[in-house]
Amino acid sequence: MSEETLSFLSNLLQIELECVSVWIAGPLVVTLCASLAWAQFPRECITPEGLRSGQCCPSPAGVAGDECGSSTGRGQCVTIAADSRRHGPQYPYAGRDDRERWPLRFFNRTCQCNGNFSGYNCGRCKHGLTGANCDQRISVVRRNVMQMSTAEKQAFVNALDQAKKTVHPDLVICTRRYQEVLGPDGNTPQFQNVTIYNYFVWSHYYSVSKTYLGPGQASFGGVDFSHEGPGFVTWHRFHLLQLERDMQDMLGDPTFALPYWNFAIGGSECDICTNDLLGARSAFDMNSISPNSVFSQWRVICESVEDYDALGTICNSTESSPIRRNPAGNVARPMVQRLPEPQDVLDCLELNTFDTPPYYSTSSESFRNSIEGYSAPQGMYDPVIRSLHNLAHLFLNGTGGQTHLSPNDPIFVLLHTFTDAVFDEWLRRHQPGEIVYPEENAPIGHNRRFNMVPFWPPVTNAEMFVPAPENLGYSYEVQWPARPLTLSEIITVAIVVAVVVVAAVGGVVACAVRARSHSSAEVLEPLLAETYRRYSEEDRRLDNPQSVV
């Protein structure tokens, strides 16, 4: 597409167009153009009128008067319900952050889909369903990446690389807070296109970024909409589901499933850091990825976090440095030079309580805080401890260990699918129901009915607090390590074994005795008979000497 054509279209439509050329195969290059949109919302909702109305209810067929596919019964436009329950004391402000009561700062009306329909315009099916009427079940299996064939590994690496380069078909990202979103002239929306993988990175950054309090004031860092609270497991679950769905669409393959990395293997070796998977260590720089891995070509986004915090801006799509990674190389923190142990997973799965007050990174006896890794796997909170998920992040020692940047390292995907597998196993074993998820007093963003930031259309923590195979269309193929026996179990087993052995030995002896007595009877019988005969003859002779001939 020529510059003139672009400019003509842009003028015609009265919107700013941004284009990215994507190489498909051979000489085939597709130029994707997108209008610059509002926040990470659908393109259809980006008009100034749309934003002023606070309504984002597109038609799946693009037909006027068919909001949310209402004419075909798919859904209707409704007022958004945002959580208004009390949150914990960690965030002491009100009205200072665009993410409060998400997404009301941007939109207050959205599509509510009927039955099994779903999506921002009710044009697709809920997770786990397919077909024109969304009434056929479909499920994918997430597998251990180490157990995949060479071809499967290659296909996964290629798919990630394609996602890094492919512009997101529906969503665009905002690069300014709402207050400045129309630009200096009040008429220039501050938005950018973003690739599928970089959207995955950006949404994590947006959820953890600090609250801007004004020029010259330090931004407030005591806020995190996706960590240090019960929403940790539900937020990351949806984050992965969205990437998996985007990649399925990109590949045209509804069976595509994200694999997982079982990071609970102990030791100090990153087993997936090989060039057929996530990239080996470079021979030239121990903090870099080998040039023989495609991931050495990747560039990170959201690196200039100090600038964003000082200026009150937001991360944009600009890519900067390569991924940094030095597994087990943090010499200043020996405790993060080793991966979690298999036993750590078993221990946290035994914790009965999902989360405990204050539902924060200081919680004790909380399954969530243990799998997140701020408390010991057995549940005890200790500020110096880092375990499970946190330990795996810190072990990577580089891009993957810094919260605002970590998804830039694709190991993030596999680390989190395993974390999600543990969460799903906990749900399966404990069968808790949403009642155990705190309704209020969790840190901001983490209450049960809070819409997770920054996802669109709105989705609550509660919606992800369900067993995945039955509700979300995926399951894990995973062999959990066997639990070693406790002392009392060992004693019980020893007693049972002893009883069985004694009984068996007793039985054998009894049989032998019986067999022996039985066979001696047979063997002795002629002897007895003989004796008896000899005795009888002797008897007769002695008793009756005249009878002897």
Ligand X SMILES: O=C1C=c2cc(C(=O)O)[nH]c2=CC1=O
Using CB under 6 A, list all residues that contact ligand X.
227, 386, 390, 393-394, 401-403, 406
Instruction: Give the residue with the Cβ less far from ligand X, 51 or 315.
Output: 315
Q: Cβ of residue 377: shortest distance to ligand X, in angstroms?
A: 14
Residue of minimal CB distance from ligand X? 406
Q: Whole-number minimum distance, CB 368 to ligand X, in Å? A: 13
Among residues 392, 344, 421, the alpha carbon closest in space to that of 143 is found at: 421
Q: Closest CB to ligand X among 34 and 394?
A: 394
Please, what is the minimum distance in Å from the beta carbon of residue 403 to ligand X?
Answer: 4
CB 295 within 8 A of CB 274: no
d(CA 169, CA 187): 24
Minimum Å gap between C-beta 395 and ligand X is 10
- Minimum CB–partner distance for residue 71 and ligand X (Å): 43
Residue closer to ligand X (CB basis): 176 or 393 = 393
Cα–Cα distance measured from residue 368 to residue 437, given in angstroms and rounded to the nearest whole number: 10
Closer to ligand X by Cβ: residue 42 or 400: 400
Give the closest residue to 367 by CA, choosing from 260, 264, 376, 341: 376
CA distance linking residue 264 with residue 346, whole number of Å: 10
Strand-pair partners of 245: none
Q: Which residue number, 88 or 401, has a Cβ lying nearer to ligand X?
A: 401
User: What are the structure tokens assigned to 291, written together?
Assistant: 């040039």
Please say which residue, 105 or 393, places its beta carbon nearer to ligand X. Answer: 393
Between CA 290 and CA 490 the distance in angstroms is 48
Output helix, strand, coil percentages for the chain, rounded to the nearest 5.
40, 10, 50
CA distance linking residue 318 with residue 451, whole number of Å: 28
Cβ atoms 101, 83 nearer than 8 A: yes
Select 43 or 404, whichever has its Cβ closest to ligand X.
Answer: 404
Provide the minimum distance between the beta carbon of 394 and ligand X in the complex, in angstroms, as a whole number: 6
- End-to-end CA distance of the chain, in Å? 139
| Cα–Cα distance measured from residue 71 to residue 121, given in angstroms and rounded to the nearest whole number | 12
Residue 222 Cβ, how far from ligand X at the closest point, in Å?
Answer: 15
Of the candidates 234, 149, 297, the residue with the CA atom closest to the CA atom of residue 424: 234
Amino acid at 82: A
Q: How far is the CB of 390 from ligand X (least distance, A)?
A: 4
212 vs 374 by CB, closer to ligand X: 374
